[in-house]
Amino acid sequence: MSAVISSLAQVTPQIGNLVSAHPDRYFVLGLILISPLLGAIINGFFGKKIGREGVYITAVATVGMSFLFSLFAYFTLYKTAHAPVAEGAAHGPAQLSYVVWDWFRAPVGAGTVQLKLRYVLDELSGVMLLVVTGVGTLIHIYSTGYMSHDEGYARYFAYLNLFMFSMLNLILGDSMVLLFVGWEGVGLCSYLLIGFWFTNTQYATAGKKAFIVNRIGDVGVILGMTILAWKTGGFEFAKIRDALNVDGSNALTALNEKPEFNDVVAYFLSFGRTDSKVFEFWMKVIPEFSWGGAACFFLFVGCTGKSAQLPLYVWLPDAMAGPTPVSALIHAATMVTAGVYLLCRLSFVYVHFPTVMAIIAVIGALTALFAASIALVQNELKKVLAYSTVSQLGFMFAACGVGAFSAGLFHVYTHAMFKACLFLGAGAVMHACRDKQDLRDLGGLKQFTPHTFRTFLIATAAIIGTPFVTAGFYSKDEILFRALASQNANHAWVGKFVFAALVAGATMTAFYMCRLLFLTFWGEFKGWSLNKEDYPNYVEPSHDDHGHGHDDHGHGHGKPWDPPHENPPVMYIPLYVLAGMSVIAGFVGLPYLFTHKESVWGQWLIRSTEHTGKPITEWNLVMTEPRVHSAEITAMAAGFAAFAIGLGLAWWIYLSQKGEPARKLSSSMRPVYQLLVDKWRVDELYDFIIVRPLRFASEFAARVIDRWLIDGLVNLVGIIPRAFGALARKSQTGVVHTYGAVIALGLAGMFGWVVFLPTAAISARADGGERVTVEVHGGPNYAYAWDIDGDGEFPAEFGTETRQSGTCRKLESPDGRNVCRVSVRVRNAFGHISTISRVIELPASESGSR
Amino acid sequence: MKDLLLYLLPIVILFIGGFTLMLVDAFQKEEGGLAVPTAMLHFAAAAAALALWPYAGNAADLARAQVAFNGWLAFDRTTLFLDITIALGGGLTTLLAGSYLAEHKLERGEFYTLITFASAGCMMLAGATDLIMLFIGLETLSLGVYALTGFRRTSARSQEGALKYFLLGSFAAALLLYGSALLYGMTGHTDLAGIRDALGRAVEMPAIAGQEGAAQFVAVQQTVRDRVTILAMVLVVAGLAFKVGSVPFHMWTPDAYEGAPTPATAYMAVTVKAAAFGAMLRVLIGVFGDTSGPASLAGGWPGLLVWLAVLSMLIGNLVALAQSSVKRMLAYSSIAHGGYILAAFVVAPRAESLAGGGGSVGQSAAAAVLFYLLAYTVSNVGAFGALILAGSRGKEAVSYEDLAGLGKRHPAVALALSFFVLSLAGMPPTVGFFAKYNVIRSAIEAGYPWLALAVVINSAIGVYYYLRVMVKMYMHDPQPGAVRAEPMSSPGISLTLIATAGMVLALGMMPQRFYGYALEAVKLAAAPIAAAPADAPPANAN
Amino acid sequence: MTIQISHYLILSALLFSIGAAGFLVRRNSLVALMCIELMLNAVNLTLIAFNRWMPANAGGAVPHHGHVFAFFVIAVAAAEAALGLAIVLSLYRIRKVVRTDDANLMKE
């Protein structure tokens, strides 16, 4: 494989030279980005003018170009990464970058940071780039067939191209800011595409739900990003990374700072009265949490929104209201994995915070389990796939949580292939079956849609982890193994727990995916009667009732008794490509057990995702260690068991019970046959032991938690501000006198404030040791009494001096921080008095005077 | 610059232009056709201000100009920056007005005269360094804007809006005036620098010095002076807070905005705000925020403004949520935007001279105010322009319902409106994001994290109603039977939209450059409008 | 008893308060206009009283800032009154009301 790659890389020697000469001028990145944007602009503005063909060509060509450029860039990157270096010199990081222009300057900490509009291709973004543009191109091609009957094709492709542009911004941006721009952009496109058929209110509501839930996540991202930049002095990933890589660096110390954060929260929660009891209460209640931990946690909250994890996963199943290719591209293969990408991108920060990692791992594992349990009983094709996506994303997060970022990303990559294939297959099924997608209506499609069947079968095999031949097996196995082998520095149980949960999740996955497969493609077709005689009253329809609104593709043309039909090649060729990838994609990540060396995948991402020696990965992947080796075998066995149990159970229930295959199976397996003979007993057992508790559990999950609790919370978030708004709105009576009275009241309030509540701006400086200087600015005729030493006693006399120095006694601080408190009583010109205090950070005692 | 009168060029262009327009309107046979000349006048004023920029950086010139104009007007870069913002806002809204007035049968020449004079008033207010000048500027712009509000003479709503605005505006002006009179009485000066210096000195009474009880008498006088000064300051703050539509002086805003013809609404929202905030910078920070004197931060006005800022953000946003009219929503949102700008005010005078960082924090906050005004001007004019474009003959697009399905019917208009709405909501990479970012950053740097948090939370609320506009346009079809507001075709409005969109994007893409200009404007102010850094005192004329 | 500056100031403050109170209480828009005039005149009184009280500067002359200010206030007040009456008239033409609380088409 590497031979092929390097021979391809031979094509680009000049570019290679160019890169080394001008590190920020690799313009191919600009071409990758600009071409989908160009497509979006052309389709958005001139879509009506250039016609249907023009729109198709523009959309596919621009994204295809982007893919070709991506391949080119990737091979150039590969060549750079493997270029020979001078003897003894360390191999530099492989990256290509392109600076569009200087963006803006941000004062961070003491200095200012010049933020550039800069795109970087490195190992991590390279992998994502290929997945996004590759799958994106296939889905664009597929969409030309799928949307061929829809009126809004130009709008659709404009949104889709815009999505590609935003996604590329997200993965290629070299800073948190640029990533966030992309993050918002993909959210917007997703929102627009979910509500694409906005004539249907239910779909528009789904769009809204996605939107609101994602806003909650966005607040997390903004907070996390701000804290991170503030504490490490940069928005750029490279800068943050460099700041952290120095052991005992200032940035790391800054991230590990603890109580200041609590101070701020407590300060806010006690409305700024630091001298109040409320403040002290909050200082005790808020658990210790460092700035860095908070940043990581907030960013993860953002990820749970975008990547549909507990508890913010609720929007994704509803998001299936959009056109099916959109579900495949945005809600399965690319956008929803942005959260995983973000974690991998910032893995070098995350590894410093084991508790946050533990939270991520547990949330991921629980999501995997929870969503899989719901998927067991869903009856809609796309709903099952949606919950399956949530569940698989849980796998990825669990992997990241246990420190196996490369494994998580590996699953992103393989999952993109097989889940896109499954969704597109589902779309093909719906396209073929007049938009029927209820599993109870489908069946027997094997004979009608052979291409769809074959590809769906392969993709299902991949997702359930069919051993040795499918990509899903390798990526899932890697996650299970790394989970089992991991040791969280603070919470050792996490690895075992995640492993157990994921194995259970994998079992369920195998079961529900096989159930889906069997019910759709095996058995009798139940969608409509295929006998012409059943339609005695059929008359040839007139062609003007051409309704649009659902996944509707004008099937009114066929006769009602026509069987489901196979789709055009433009739709099944992408399926074959994706199915093929679902098989071969895994071979870049062969486990160590087989090859006795680090896999191609792991080797490629080692710089981006492996951070040995940090608390979370203290176990240092040492391949010869027997414990690790045995863990790998255990994991593989568990993965195999999950596959076998799930598949077997599904087979037994959905095929065996139907007669022919059951008899064949029963003759070879006596005990199973015995059970099958007593049909009621099996039904009872099945119902009583498996279905009823499971159904109860999943319905409980689906109804109570999903619909009631979480939807309720989401609605509440919207209701509260509106209620207040309505209240405030009522005060606007429309009568001038009310307005005048409010002005008068406001004025009176302002007078009251300046007369009765003296305030002064206070600033303080630590002069070294326990010496401090404090300055206040109050107003004319203000007088002050000082309590510099912090003993709570003020002199009786007020003076007019606005500056005071003195010795400030260190406070008893539980976290050992060097602080003291100074207070000033302020008497204003009206003779009223109030007290202001401020906590001052003293310099560390050993540093002496500054 | 040699000829100091040239400094007056932007204002003179507008005044002479205004008179000319009046004459032309009186003598021309048919109404109309004045929009483009008026816009050109504004752009000429902007160009003049731009041309003066290099000449306003010199401390000696500033001092001479200050003397030559008797300390009534400052010809510093702050003035020029605000002049450019005002002229831009005025010019672009005039371009909007051309088609709007013709479309709605309101084409009367006095609209342009009024807007031109009002712009001149805005520039006077923005550059005023004397209480008298401040009052004249304020009234010149106010009278113009009152008349513009009531411009739809046959509309009861327009007249009602004008009446409310006028009555309350006069009331607020009287408050400001009374405050000014008291300040004058307490200091003997009407010029801001004189007031500042006088407040920095203790009361002296040489006539009675040495007599029995003189010291006690002087002390009483001192107390009286300081108390009255503080109360006068509150009155002045109230008067200016009214003009910027800050809570609790905000209640006229939605009614006046709704009643006024939409271009006038846009004008009120941007230029009046820019001018009034400019005056606020000079009065509050220049006079009461000079941290070197004992009058510094008189009565802790930053603490006062915190309340105004937070209440403005909160009430503006929350009530905007509940609106069904886009025009009223924009009115309430302008209150909220005023709140964000006020938040920067709180920070601007904060001289962390002891904690390091010097006055640069204060300067960056004052620059954040200027930058925000520019950003708000281009975004808001664009939004109103798109709203005007979406309306048709006799059926203005004012409610959310009118916008339903616009994304399908007229993608270009919908796209433009979405773009501006996103900027107002503060989404990157539009300029709105950077405007808010600057405010938040200064608040954090100055040690007001909770104020920054308040801005963030309020922005999040704001996103909701701004995006409702987009939801309506893209995800809803008009109700069956509803009168559809058909977009009009107008080169003037299209041009404005393209220009503003370009500026929103350009400022968003290169915010640093424009923020740099704002920072320069702050540093080279005739009187300090931000706490000065310890190492580099700004050019100070007196 | 001699008439001092404080008497003028108290008188003008009273006038201002009466004007403000009238503005807030009376519902007739013409009366509201008059109240505003009253407030402005109170300001004028304040300005002029203060100017009389001002000590002479170093050159021996008393600066006339207060007087100048008062003249400007008078001029602006006239313009304001003209515009105000025009608006009131215009509203009256359409709706036949002069009471301010009848002008409440727009609210909330």
| Cβ contact B165:B149 at 8 Å | yes
Q: Is the pLDDT of residue B125 over 60?
A: yes
Would B539 be classed as within a structural domain? Answer: no
pLDDT tens, A641-699?
888 888 888 887 777 766 445 445 445 655 544 443 343 343 344 455 544 655 566 55
Nearest-neighbour CA in chain C from A711: distance (Å): 30
Among A201-215, A296-310, A449-463, B277-291, the minimum mean pLDDT is found in A201-215
For position B485, what pLDDT does the model report? 64
Query: Out of B159, B189, B258, whose CB is closest to C91?
Result: B159
For position B276, what pLDDT does the model report? 94
What size, in residues, is chain A?
850
Structure tokens that stand for A366 in this block: 């629980």
For position A538, what pLDDT does the model report? 65
Q: What is the DSSP letter of A276?
A: S
Q: Virtual CA dihedral for B448, B450, B454, B460, nearest 10 degrees?
A: 110
pLDDT tens, A817-847?
677 888 888 888 888 888 888 777 777 654 4
Residue C39 to residue C26: CA distance in whole angstroms: 14
Residue A690 to residue A683: CA distance in whole angstroms: 10
Q: Is A4 in CB contact (< 8 Å) with chain C?
A: no
For position A695, what pLDDT does the model report? 57
pLDDT over 90 percentage in chain A? 12
Q: Is A729 in CB contact (< 8 Å) with chain C?
A: yes
For position A546, what pLDDT does the model report? 43
For position A765, what pLDDT does the model report? 74
Chain B positions touching C68 (Cβ under 8 A) are 132
For position B397, what pLDDT does the model report? 67
Which chain C residue's Cα is nearest to A739?
C24
**Stretch B32-51: mean pLDDT:** 91
pLDDT tens, B181-240?
999 998 888 988 888 888 878 777 777 777 888 888 888 888 888 889 889 989 999 999
Q: Which of A324, A342, A446 is nearest to A385 (CA)?
A: A324
3-state class (DSSP) for residue A774: strand
pLDDT tens, B387-443?
888 876 666 767 888 888 888 778 788 888 999 999 999 887 789 998 998 898 888
**Stretch B110-128: mean pLDDT:** 94
For position A759, what pLDDT does the model report? 80
Q: Which of A416, A395, A640 is nearest to A510 (CA)?
A: A640
Q: Is the pLDDT of residue B179 over 50?
A: yes
**Chain mean pLDDT for chain C:** 88
Q: Is the pLDDT of residue A755 over 50?
A: yes
Among A102-116, A799-813, B52-66, B281-295, the minimum mean pLDDT is found in A102-116
Chain A positions touching B222 (Cβ under 8 A) are 781
| Cβ contact A534:A561 at 8 Å | yes
Q: Is the pLDDT of residue A621 over 60?
A: no
* B501: Cα separation from own chain's centroid: 20
Nearest-neighbour CA in chain C from B135: distance (Å): 8
Return the higher-pLDDT residue of B40 and A226. Answer: B40
8 Å CB contact of A780 and B476: no
Domain ranges in chain A are: 353-537+549-677, 756-847
3-state class (DSSP) for residue A119: strand
Chain A positions touching C21 (Cβ under 8 A) are none
Chain C positions touching B138 (Cβ under 8 A) are none
pLDDT tens, B444-502?
777 777 888 899 888 888 888 888 888 888 877 777 776 666 667 788 888 899 999 99
**Stretch A578-606: mean pLDDT:** 80
Phi, psi of B397 (to 5 degrees): -85, 100
Q: How confident is the model at residue A274 (pLDDT cuts 50, 70, 90)?
A: low
Correct CATH for C5-100 of 3.40.50.970, 2.70.170.10, 1.10.287.3510, 1.10.630.10: 1.10.287.3510
Looking at the 3D structure of chain B, how many domains does it have? 1
pLDDT tens, A342-390?
999 888 888 888 878 888 999 999 999 888 887 877 778 888 888 899 9
Domain ranges in chain C are: 5-100
CA separation, residue B332 to residues A85, B336, B337 (Å): 63, 7, 9
Q: How confident is the model at residue A542 (pLDDT cuts 50, 70, 90)?
A: low
For position B274, what pLDDT does the model report? 94
Q: Which of B90, B101, B103 is nearest to B381 (CA)?
A: B90
Q: Is A618 in CB contact (< 8 Å) with chain B?
A: no
Which chain A residue's Cα is nearest to B313?
A725
Return the higher-pLDDT residue of B113 and A320. Answer: B113
Chain A positions touching B435 (Cβ under 8 A) are none
Q: Is A736 in CB contact (< 8 Å) with chain B?
A: yes
Which chain B residue's Cα is nearest to C46?
B181
Nearest-neighbour CA in chain C from A815: distance (Å): 51
Structure tokens that stand for B372 in this block: 């925000």
**Chain mean pLDDT for chain B:** 84
Q: Is the pLDDT of residue B117 over 70?
A: yes
**Stretch A308-321: mean pLDDT:** 78
3-state class (DSSP) for residue B134: helix
Nearest-neighbour CA in chain C from A754: distance (Å): 20
Residue B113 to residue B436: CA distance in whole angstroms: 34
For position A549, what pLDDT does the model report? 41
For position A659, what pLDDT does the model report? 42
Query: Out of A107, A219, A739, whose CB is closest to B164?
Result: A739
| Cβ contact A570:A144 at 8 Å | yes
8 Å CB contact of A743 and B509: no
Return the higher-pLDDT residue of A14 and A715. Answer: A715
At the fourth CATH level, which superfamily is domain A756-847?
Immunoglobulins (2.60.40.10)
Q: Is the pLDDT of residue A244 over 50?
A: yes
8 Å CB contact of B230 and A754: yes
Query: Out of A733, A734, A741, whose CB is closest to C24?
Result: A741
Chain C positions touching B182 (Cβ under 8 A) are 46
pLDDT over 70 percentage in chain B? 90
Q: What is the DSSP letter of B325?
A: B
Which chain C residue's Cα is nearest to B324?
C108
For position B449, what pLDDT does the model report? 79
Return the higher-pLDDT residue of B381 and B465. Answer: B381
A741-770 residues touching C, CB cutoff 8 A:
741, 744
Q: How confident is the model at residue B380 (pLDDT cuts 50, 70, 90)?
A: very high
Map tokens 């008026």 to a residue.
Answer: B38
Q: Which of B278, B243, B264, B260 is nearest to B92 (CA)?
A: B264
For position A348, what pLDDT does the model report? 84
**Stretch B513-525: mean pLDDT:** 82
pTM: 0.69
What interhelical angle do B35-52 and B110-127 show, nearest 10? 20
Q: Is A11 in CB contact (< 8 Å) with chain B?
A: no
Burial label, C13 (beta-carbon count in 10 A; 0-12, 13-18, 19+): middle
8 Å CB contact of A737 and C107: no
Return the higher-pLDDT residue of B151 and A287. Answer: B151
Domain enclosing residue B297, as ranges: 4-523
C1-30 residues touching A, CB cutoff 8 A:
20, 23-25, 27
Nearest-neighbour CA in chain C from A737: distance (Å): 6
- Write the DSSP assignment of A670-732 as a string of letters: HHHHHHHHSHHHHHHHIIIIIIHHHHHHHHIIIIIIIIIIIHHHHHHHHHHHHHHHHHHHHT-
C32-91 residues touching A, CB cutoff 8 A:
32
Q: Is the pLDDT of residue B312 over 70?
A: yes
What size, in residues, is chain B?
542
Would B538 be classed as within a structural domain? Answer: no
Q: Is the pLDDT of residue B353 over 80?
A: no
Chain B positions touching C97 (Cβ under 8 A) are none
Nearest-neighbour CA in chain A from B268: distance (Å): 19
For position A672, what pLDDT does the model report? 45
**Stretch A197-210: mean pLDDT:** 68
8 Å CB contact of B167 and C66: no
Q: How many CB atoms lie within 10 A of CB A554?
A: 13
